[in-house]
Amino acid sequence: MAYKITFSHPGYDKDYPLDIRGLGLVKNGSSVTLDEDAESNFVQLTGMTVKDKLGNDEHFTVEGNTTLKKPEVDKLLSVPEVAEATPEPVEEVKN
């Protein structure tokens, strides 16, 4: 089962649309279901899994389970190594 995420914040009117990073526009009091692609995009955009990012936030209810396998999540969360650049020598200009 994919994740079902419900957003509810008492400071906003019901159905007030909020742009939530990784989820897009979500109306206050409504739910969104993340399929595998949406979950992958969420992890890439936020750098965290759904449960790590939203699981302890009092304004979100997270139901269901990940659709991603651990190697997929690890790959999405990995930061590629960047080779250290060696600066080119600068020639001294003589006047």
Report H helices in 1-95.
36-46, 50-54, 70-77
Cβ contact 18:26 at 8 Å: yes
Residue-level pLDDT at 89: 73
Residue-level pLDDT at 22: 86
Check whether 9 has a pLDDT greater than 70: yes
Residue-level pLDDT at 21: 86
pLDDT in tens, 26-83: 999 999 999 889 999 999 988 889 999 999 999 999 999 888 888 888 888 886 666 6
Tell whether the torsion through CA atoms of 44, 77, 64 and 11 is positive or negative.
negative
pTM of the model: 0.72
User: Residue 2 — pLDDT band, cuts 50, 70, 90?
Assistant: confident
Determine how β-strand 31-34 pairs with β-strand 3-7. antiparallel
Residue-level pLDDT at 80: 64
